[in-house]
C-alpha cells in the first residue's frame, strides 16, 4: 500500500492534514517596519519639495495676475499708474490697488479673529482699483507665507500678532506712496526700463499685514552702494522670492547673500524699528544691488 493517502477533501498528503502557513516572526516584523521607515524617510523630503514648488507656482501665478491687472488699469486710465499705497493720500484721489480698511465694511459677525482679518483684506481688495482686472480675492495670498502658516500651525518661536493673509506690497517708488511723493513715478510712460522695474514684492512684516507700500532707501545710481533696507523682503520659497515687473512678466528671484535670507525670515518686529538689524550693502551687496536696480523712482526710471 502506498504511503500517500487520500484525504477526506480529496487532496493527497503523507499525514492527511493541511499544512498551515507560518506567521511572521518578530525579526521579520521589525525588518518590514524598518523598510517602511526608510521608504518614508526617502519620500517625505520629495513630497515636501513638491509641495514647496506647488506653492511657489501659485505665488508666481498671483504675481503674474496682478502685474497684468496693473497694465490693464493703466491702459484704461491714460497710462496713469495705480496708487500703490493702501489708502488715498497726499491729495491723490485715484483708488489704491487695495484698501487696508475698506470703505464698505463686510459682515464679520461670528467669524474668528483670523477669518475676520481675511474678510477685511479681501473686501479691501474688492473695493480697490485692480479687482475688476483680476477678480480673484485669493490673488493677495501666497500659500507659503510663513506668517499665515505659523498661525495655522502654532509655532512658539513666532510672536503673537504675526498672522497675515496678504503677502504682497507695491513698490513705493510708484504713484501714491506717502514716503516719496516728489520722486514717485506717475505714468507707465515714465518708466524707461519696464523689464527691469518690479511692481510687487513679497514682504515679511512680523507686525501683521503688510500696510502701505514697500520702501527701499535708494542710494545713488548706478552703483547704489549707499542703498539700505527700510522694509523687509520675504523668503518663503527656500531662498527665493517672487516679483512682478512693469512689462507684465513675473519671476522668482534667489537671494544670494546669507544676511538677506536671515533678515527675510526673521519674525522679530524690531527689525522695522532698529536699523542695526537690517543688512548693510557691505553684507548683502548682490541682493541690495538687485533691489536697487529694480526699484523705480524718478531718479531710477
Pick the more confident residue, 67 or 11. 67
Contact 140, 128 (CB under 8 A): no
Q: Rounded distance, CA 93 to CA 166, Å?
A: 24
Q: Which residues contact 82 (CB under 8 A, 6 or more apart)?
A: 70, 73, 74, 94, 95, 96, 97, 129, 130, 174, 175, 176
The residue behind cell 497684468 is 68
- pLDDT score of 185 more than 90: no
The mean pLDDT of the chain is 87
Place of cell 477533501: 9
Q: Give the separation between CA 176 and CA 28, rounded to whole angstroms.
A: 70
Tens-place pLDDT, residues 226-278? 999 999 999 999 899 999 999 999 999 999 999 999 999 999 999 999 999 99
Res 2 pLDDT > 90: no
According to the model, what pLDDT value does residue 204 have?
Answer: 96
d(CA 210, CA 195): 25
Predicted confidence at residue 221, as pLDDT, reads 92
Q: How far is CA 72 from CA 79, 81, 170, 198, in A?
A: 9, 10, 16, 16
Bridge partner list, 170: 200
> Model-level pTM?
0.82
- Mean pLDDT of all residues in 109-131: 94
pLDDT for the residue 288: 98
The average pLDDT across 84-111 equals: 85
Amino acid at each position: 500500500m502506498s504511503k500517500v493517502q487520500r484525504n477526506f477533501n480529496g487532496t493527497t498528503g503523507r499525514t492527511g492534514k493541511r499544512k498551515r502557513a507560518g506567521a511572521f516572526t518578530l525579526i521579520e516584523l521589525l525588518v518590514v517596519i524598518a523598510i517602511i521607515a526608510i521608504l518614508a524617510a526617502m519620500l517625505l523630503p520629495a513630497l515636501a519639495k513638491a509641495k514647496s514648488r506647488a506653492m511657489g507656482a501659485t505665488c508666481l501665478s498671483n504675481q503674474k495676475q496682478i502685474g497684468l491687472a496693473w497694465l490693464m488699469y493703466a491702459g484704461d486710465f491714460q497710462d496713469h499708474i495705480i496708487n500703490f499705497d493702501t489708502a488715498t493720500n497726499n491729495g491723490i484721489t485715484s483708488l489704491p490697488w487695495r484698501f487696508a480698511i475698506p470703505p464698505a465694511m463686510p459682515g464679520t459677525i461670528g467669524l474668528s479673529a483670523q477669518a475676520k482679518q481675511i474678510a477685511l483684506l479681501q473686501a479691501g481688495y474688492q473695493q480697490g482699483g485692480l479687482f475688476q482686472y483680476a477678480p480673484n480675492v485669493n490673488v493677495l495670498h501666497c500659500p507659503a507665507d510663513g506668517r499665515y502658516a505659523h498661525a495655522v500651525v502654532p509655532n512658539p518661536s513666532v510672536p503673537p500678532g504675526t498672522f497675515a493673509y496678504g503677502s504682497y506690497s507695491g513698490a513705493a517708488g510708484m504713484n501714491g506712496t506717502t514716503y516719496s511723493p516728489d520722486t514717485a513715478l506717475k505714468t507707465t510712460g515714465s518708466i524707461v526700463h519696464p523689464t527691469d522695474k518690479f511692481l510687487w514684492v513679497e514682504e515679511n512684516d512680523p507686525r501683521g499685514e503688510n500696510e502701505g507700500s514697500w520702501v527701499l532707501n535708494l542710494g545713488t545710481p548706478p552703483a547704489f552702494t549707499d542703498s539700505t533696507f527700510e522694509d523687509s523682503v520675504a523668503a518663503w520659497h527656500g531662498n527665493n522670492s517672487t516679483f512682478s515687473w512693469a512689462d507684465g512678466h513675473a519671476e522668482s528671484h534667489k537671494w544670494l547673500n546669507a544676511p538677506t535670507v536671515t533678515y527675510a525670515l526673521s519674525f522679530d518686529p524690531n527689525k522695522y524699528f532698529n536699523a542695526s538689524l537690517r543688512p548693510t550693502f557691505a553684507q548683502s551687496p548682490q541682493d541690495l544691488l538687485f533691489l536697487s536696480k529694480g526699484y523705480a523712482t524718478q531718479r531710477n526710471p
